[in-house]
Structure 1
Amino acid sequence: MNKKNEKPLKNTKPPMKVNPYWIYILFLFLMLAPYLSGSLFKTQEISWLTLETTMLTAQDVEKIVIINKEIAEIYIKEDRLSDPKYQSVNKPERSILSKPHYSLKIGSVESFERKMEKAQEGFDKEKQVEIFYTTRTSLFNILSWLFPIFLLLLFWMFIFRRQGQGRFSSGSIMNFGKSTAKLASKDVRSKVTFDDVAGLKEAKIEIMEIVDFLKHPETYTKLGAKIPKGVMLVGPPGTGKTLLAKAVAGEAQVPFFSLSGSEFVEMFVGVGASRVRDLFKQAKEKAPSIIFIDEIDAIGRARGKVNALQSNDERENTLNQLLTELDGFGTNTGVIVLSATNRADILDKALLRPGRFDRHIYLELPTKQEREAIFKVHLKPVIKGSDVDISLLASLTPGFSGADIANMCNEAALIAARKARKQVDQEDFLEARDRIVGGLERKGKLISSKEKKIVAYHEAGHAVVSWFLENVESLVKVSIIPRGKSLGAAWYLPEEHQIITKPQFTDRICAALGGRAAEEVVFNEISSGALDDLEKVTKQAYSMVAYYGLDKEIGPLSFYDSTGENERLLGKPYSEYLGKRIDEEVIRLITSEYERAKILLTTHRSQLEELAQLLLKQEVIDKKDLEQILGKRDIVNSI
């Protein structure tokens, strides 16, 4: 190749951009320049006594200039500056800048003039010091009020710049009416799949049908079927509503918009409705698509008399716009709305009707088999020991949600790490379960020997009464180590029942009163330690009488309100006469079960004493110790 014909390469280096922040810094430096220059040659301030005795007497002062009737600037004669007493101000740069040598703050001009006349008495007029008056406006005074304005402008420029770099494409702060939903596309998708969702078989089937419809719509449309417009996930906290939505986002091959219900509500009027319109506009443009609104009760509360006194309720306007978008006059083709809430009772009826949310999927607390599946999912990353029994862990955790089980597995791993173990054993899981249910052990909490004895007999009373009752769960462990707010605890192996009979209710009330009854039987006095037991017993007794209709005197009546409307009422849904009868029946029920517990403890007094003494000695006793003292428990729990 001929090198002569080669053309020199052009410089493709992009032009250097000037950072605007350097301009701000330069402007700030220029504004601060008066401060800096003033600090380089600061005039030495003196008193009137020094001026009179040192300078005026020696006739060293050339002139005095009074600035703004406040400060007197003193200039020394050039031929006197060589004097050693002026060595501190005798600098060549001062003569160049013609700066005053000294300054003096004067109280008033009249007073200063009188002092000057008195100090120069006897001087010839030619030798008297000339006094000049001037008004001076410095750059410092101008910048002192310009500087705050500049800072304010700089702050707003920073806010607008950040707003432009944020989630709003147009870069204007006035776009707060735009939707704040996060878009999960094919490229950015959730890593959670249906394989990570355990224990929700029925809910997964219904949700997977929605996803399958989006993937293969022709399978359903050829039969005339229409895809549901809305699916509402309802259930207690921690049961996996949001997790199921994340799995849909991970499995679906369509755009997925996710946001919280509270993101629609702002301090500005009309923002919520505007965001709803913008959200559905974006979803329709990318149809077929899915919208997920978490905690929809933030905007979906029932409209009623509660809000009648408010002239303009922003939540109501947002809800009206959402109802219109879901099933209004306009078309809403190809957009499926998923929502989640744990307060379905307070939602507006218009939101729940078919055509808006066609399907309601109820997620309940997992059963024993479902808890086993959830444990298997959360134990995958955990290095567990060979003695870990997942079936036993599932039996020991009734009422646990999926979030509770995840927390228990993590807590067990933390406990094992604190003990410097290489694996997580069954003991660590049991300790984690006790910590979640009862709280952290507080072995260092100081209680007196008398209080410890009362606690021991209290817990022994619970153990003895529950051991000899037919419809109480099997006792596993009794402890008098303070844990959380309680000073002791009795741990049971609960059985799961869908319905509870009256004998089960009464036996549970009797077992809960066993601790207080033991205190009265042994010490002939009672303490405040049974507060938690009495609270549970009172609630159970009222639910028996007023909710479940299990009392013969009151009869088959129930005042339970499943709609939640009676919560807004100040009064009770029954008369004063019936309320008095309910109170009497509750008192009679609790009193009779309390006497029954005392009879049981009196019959087994020796076993109560032996169990209490063992508790005082060991602080914790398990099922083997209980069987050794109380005998084998051959009672089979029956429903």
Structure 2
Amino acid sequence: MKEKSSFNWFYLVVFAVLAITIYPLLNLDPPQSINENGFFALLKENKVEKVVVYTDTPRADVFLTKEARAAMVKNAKKDTQNLLPAMQEQKPDFDFNYGNLQYFQEKFDNLKKENPQVKTQYDFKTAGSPFQDILIQALIWFGIMAVIYYFLFRKMGSGGGPGGQIFSIGKSRAKLFDENEKVQVTFKDVAGLEGAKEEVQEVVDFLKNSEKYTKLGGKIPKGVLLVGPPGTGKTLLAKAVAGEAKVPFFSLSGSDFVEMFVGVGASRVRDLFAQAKAKSPAIIFIDEIDAIGRARGRGGLQGGNDERENTLNQLLTEMDGFGTDTNVIVMAATNRADILDKALMRAGRFDRSIYVDLPEMHERREIFDVHLAKIKLAPDIDRDFLAKQTPGFSGADIANVCNEAALIAARNNHEFVTKQDFLDAVDRIIGGLEKKNKAIKPSEKKRVAFHEAGHATISWLVEHAAPLLKVTIVPRGRSLGAAWYLPEERSLTTTEQMLDEMCATLGGRAAEQVAFGNISTGALSDLERVTKQAQAMVTIYGLSENIGNISYYDSSGQSEYSFGKPYSEETAKKIDVEIKDIIENQYKRAVTILHENRDKLDALAQKLLEKEVIFREDLEEIFGKRAWDPELTERPVTEAVVENTQENTSSEEPQESQN
């Protein structure tokens, strides 16, 4: 709601000061006075272009010729004749009193007869009232100042120009979507997120049929907090609520409250809620609320946090300040719910917390349906296949995949977006841009081939490692080689699964040790990953027998600002030893597996050097099918394990006969 602005007398004072200051600077100098004899002297020299004789007063204005004026002007500043050509006529150069008009005319005519070269003409006019000229000039300058007022102060006050925030700094920056600018997003546009949509649909019903709940004594929730990883659709879900409810929707970010001036954030919160109450029923959506909702008093800093805390205090007050009949619901989104202030999260403010998780496979298929509707697809596109190829992708990631696939298809001059375009898009997003022209030494290329072959071998031979999709030694992004796996989507992870994953991750360095007898720096990302996994096993998930069923994880986030550790120095040493033992045991396990399958490792590395890119089918030719693959689930697991063991022990036979 736009408030009606009242007249400010301060602006009128500013106008007067500016007018008094500027008008004398722009006003032209008055003409120089001469006597009648001086005029006739100029006339004899043929320097007068025109003379204006005023009949109602014994005065005349003299206008010199251009040549005479140019000769007389010595300082360019005095020649202000062209400053305001559109506002006033040419200024007379001299004026004089002529006495008797009849005598003046006779003398003027006689002089022209005696001097034929004189072409000067004279006109008769009435001088008019001096007050009239002053009034006209005052009106002109007042009009100029009014224009300056409109474009300077009013535009600045509304934020329309540089420095405009000075006059509206305490106003809310929320973008309003109402009947004039409707939200076009509905629940049909939000694919997946079935559980979250079911919960927020109740919010829509609250806004549409509030009496249905209040007449029974129920209270409409004041706040709904959407929590989840980035790109999962929290903002889209909030817009869909506004689109379905068809109520005014105020959208802004948490950083919009933050300003360097003291008290601005709290003022914007008050203004936001005042506008929402005026348009009730309404929805206030604050994206990234952790910018102002962070827990108070953290870090012991003074001064810098005061303004943010004042803004949060005002938000807490406003959420408690309106009653249940106001029909204003606050929705907020964040991916850092652990750092929010407890007072903000309590019942009565944010009554509901909805977790928006990464989409599962069937939800990813629905998201693909939404984004593929605007793309020209080849007939063989299988949406289920695309959903399987994108585990762990958020809705924003899937949208990026579709867009990237369309760009790749256009770059390759395809008429339709093909299956390969989508696979290339996934590779581009995960691994980076392929660098086919990067120069690599043959020895380094061979090491990269064995490194990637080690990953592929271990992941194929251990049960719980993710199944392989593709291996390449073509440089991509910051890596010299890459392997793509299809991780199993699971909610829980056992100790055996984590150890198998760590063993497969260390397979690259183990392959370098087996093949070359030394190791390189190429396993940096692998070591970083397994170290974090081992630390999580020991300190977070309690999966270490030596340390015990203890977790040092702090879900509240308070340990982030503490200087001490939650365990003693003796325990810290035990944790370090346990982490190292876990990693070293899996490294030795990987080395052992590769030694036992050295011929297959060599064959796989050689195939990589020849083809540069190999797929799952190539591994099946060398290793045979995995005993625990989904297509072999009809067979007993024990039998499959025994057969696989027998194949591994008969390594003396040729590769083809094993398969």
The equivalences for 1:249-264 within 5 A come to 249-264=242-257
What is the CA–CA distance in structure 2 between the aligned matches of 1:100 and 1:496, rounded to whole Å?
92
Percent of paired sites with the same residue: 60
Aligned partner of 1:504 in structure 2 is 497
The equivalences for 1:47-66 within 5 A come to none
The equivalences for 1:179-578 within 5 A come to 179-307=172-300, 309-310=302-303, 313-328=306-321, 333-578=326-571
In the alignment, structure 1 residue 97 sits paired with structure 2 residue 90: no
Q: CA, structure 1 residues 603+32, in 2 after alignment: closer, same or farther (shift >3 Å)? A: farther
What is the CA–CA distance in structure 1 between the aligned matches of 2:407 and 2:350, rounded to whole Å?
42
1:90-132 residue CA offsets vs partner (Å, 9 max, x unmatched): xx9766533699xxxxxxxxxxxxxxxxxxxxxxxxxxxxxxx
Aligned partner of 2:646 in structure 1 is none
What is the CA–CA distance in structure 2 between the aligned matches of 1:221 and 1:340, rounded to whole Å?
27
The 8 Å contact of residues 236 and 342 in structure 1, kept in 2 or not, is answered as: yes
Aligned partner of 2:583 in structure 1 is 590
Aligned partner of 1:71 in structure 2 is none
Q: CA, structure 1 residues 609+472, in 2 after alignment: closer, same or farther (shift >3 Å)? A: same
What is the CA–CA distance in structure 1 between the aligned matches of 2:262 and 2:157, rounded to whole Å?
23
Structure 2 gap segments, 5+ residues each: 1-18, 30-64, 81-145, 638-659
The alpha carbon displacement at 1:156 in A equals 9.1
Q: Which aligned segments of 4 or more residues in structure 1 are displaced greater than 6 angstroms?
A: 30-34, 92-95, 153-157, 329-332
Q: CA, structure 1 residues 157+545, in 2 after alignment: closer, same or farther (shift >3 Å)? A: same
The 8 Å contact of residues 298 and 561 in structure 2, kept in 1 or not, is answered as: no
TM-score (norm 2): 0.73
What is the CA–CA distance in structure 2 between the aligned matches of 1:522 and 1:305, rounded to whole Å?
52
What is the CA–CA distance in structure 2 between the aligned matches of 1:155 and 1:598, rounded to whole Å?
81
The 8 Å contact of residues 160 and 173 in structure 1, kept in 2 or not, is answered as: no
1:343-377 residue CA offsets vs partner (Å, 9 max, x unmatched): 11111111110111111111111111111111111
The alpha carbon displacement at 1:160 in A equals 2.3
What is the CA–CA distance in structure 2 between the aligned matches of 1:283 and 1:566, rounded to whole Å?
38
What is the CA–CA distance in structure 2 between the aligned matches of 1:154 and 1:441, rounded to whole Å?
59
Paired AA for residue 248 in structure 2 = P
What is the CA–CA distance in structure 2 between the aligned matches of 1:222 and 1:331, rounded to whole Å?
12
Q: Secondary structure at the match of 2:286?
A: strand
**Number of corresponding residues:** 513
Q: Secondary structure at the match of 1:284?
A: helix
Q: Which moved more, 1:173-182 or 1:395-404?
A: 173-182
Paired AA for residue 183 in structure 2 = S
The 8 Å contact of residues 219 and 324 in structure 2, kept in 1 or not, is answered as: no
Q: Secondary structure at the match of 1:632?
A: coil
1:146-189 residue CA offsets vs partner (Å, 9 max, x unmatched): xxxxxxx9999754243256579xx9952321222122112311
Paired AA for residue 422 in structure 1 = E
The 8 Å contact of residues 547 and 575 in structure 2, kept in 1 or not, is answered as: yes
1:524-578 residue CA offsets vs partner (Å, 9 max, x unmatched): 1111111110110111111111111111111111111111110111232211110
The 8 Å contact of residues 387 and 426 in structure 1, kept in 2 or not, is answered as: yes
The 8 Å contact of residues 229 and 357 in structure 2, kept in 1 or not, is answered as: yes
The alpha carbon displacement at 1:222 in A equals 3.3
Structure 1 gap segments, 5+ residues each: 1-23, 35-91, 102-135, 142-152
The equivalences for 1:27-176 within 5 A come to 97-98=70-71, 158-163=151-156, 166=159, 173-176=166-169
The alpha carbon displacement at 1:237 in A equals 0.6
The 8 Å contact of residues 160 and 172 in structure 1, kept in 2 or not, is answered as: no
Q: CA, structure 1 residues 305+210, in 2 after alignment: closer, same or farther (shift >3 Å)? A: closer
Q: CA, structure 1 residues 603+331, in 2 after alignment: closer, same or farther (shift >3 Å)? A: closer
What is the CA–CA distance in structure 1 between the aligned matches of 2:257 and 2:566, rounded to whole Å?
36
The 8 Å contact of residues 264 and 318 in structure 1, kept in 2 or not, is answered as: yes
What is the CA–CA distance in structure 1 between the aligned matches of 2:367 and 2:603, rounded to whole Å?
41
The alpha carbon displacement at 1:137 in A equals 11
Q: CA, structure 1 residues 492+305, in 2 after alignment: closer, same or farther (shift >3 Å)? A: closer
TM-score (norm 1): 0.75
The alpha carbon displacement at 1:197 in A equals 0.5
Paired AA for residue 174 in structure 2 = A
The alpha carbon displacement at 1:425 in A equals 1.1
The 8 Å contact of residues 377 and 417 in structure 2, kept in 1 or not, is answered as: yes
Paired AA for residue 97 in structure 1 = A
What is the CA–CA distance in structure 2 between the aligned matches of 1:302 and 1:192, rounded to whole Å?
33
Q: CA, structure 1 residues 493+308, in 2 after alignment: closer, same or farther (shift >3 Å)? A: closer
Match of 1:603 among 570, 578, 596: 596
What is the CA–CA distance in structure 1 between the aligned matches of 2:430 and 2:438, rounded to whole Å?
19
The 8 Å contact of residues 326 and 332 in structure 1, kept in 2 or not, is answered as: no
The 8 Å contact of residues 157 and 167 in structure 2, kept in 1 or not, is answered as: no
What is the CA–CA distance in structure 1 between the aligned matches of 2:304 and 2:589, rounded to whole Å?
59
What is the CA–CA distance in structure 1 between the aligned matches of 2:603 and 2:149, rounded to whole Å?
77
The 8 Å contact of residues 307 and 313 in structure 1, kept in 2 or not, is answered as: no
RMSD: 3.2
Q: CA, structure 1 residues 460+218, in 2 after alignment: closer, same or farther (shift >3 Å)? A: same
Aligned partner of 2:624 in structure 1 is 631
Q: Secondary structure at the match of 2:285?
A: strand
Paired AA for residue 383 in structure 2 = I
Q: Secondary structure at the match of 2:169?
A: helix
Q: Which moved more, 1:263-272 or 1:172-181?
A: 172-181
The 8 Å contact of residues 302 and 349 in structure 1, kept in 2 or not, is answered as: yes
1:561-601 residue CA offsets vs partner (Å, 9 max, x unmatched): 11111011123221111011111111111111111111111
Paired AA for residue 482 in structure 2 = A
Paired AA for residue 402 in structure 1 = G
Paired AA for residue 589 in structure 1 = I
Q: CA, structure 1 residues 628+314, in 2 after alignment: closer, same or farther (shift >3 Å)? A: same
Q: CA, structure 1 residues 331+510, in 2 after alignment: closer, same or farther (shift >3 Å)? A: closer
Aligned partner of 2:94 in structure 1 is none
The alpha carbon displacement at 1:250 in A equals 1.4
1:249-297 residue CA offsets vs partner (Å, 9 max, x unmatched): 2112222111111111212211111111111111111211111111111
The 8 Å contact of residues 325 and 332 in structure 1, kept in 2 or not, is answered as: no
Aligned partner of 1:57 in structure 2 is none
Aligned partner of 1:614 in structure 2 is 607
Aligned partner of 1:89 in structure 2 is none
Q: CA, structure 1 residues 449+181, in 2 after alignment: closer, same or farther (shift >3 Å)? A: same
Paired AA for residue 98 in structure 1 = A
What is the CA–CA distance in structure 1 between the aligned matches of 2:76 and 2:421, rounded to whole Å?
78
Q: Secondary structure at the match of 1:325?
A: helix
What is the CA–CA distance in structure 1 between the aligned matches of 2:598 and 2:309, rounded to whole Å?
64
Q: CA, structure 1 residues 100+429, in 2 after alignment: closer, same or farther (shift >3 Å)? A: closer
Q: Secondary structure at the match of 1:551?
A: coil
Q: Secondary structure at the match of 1:177?
A: coil
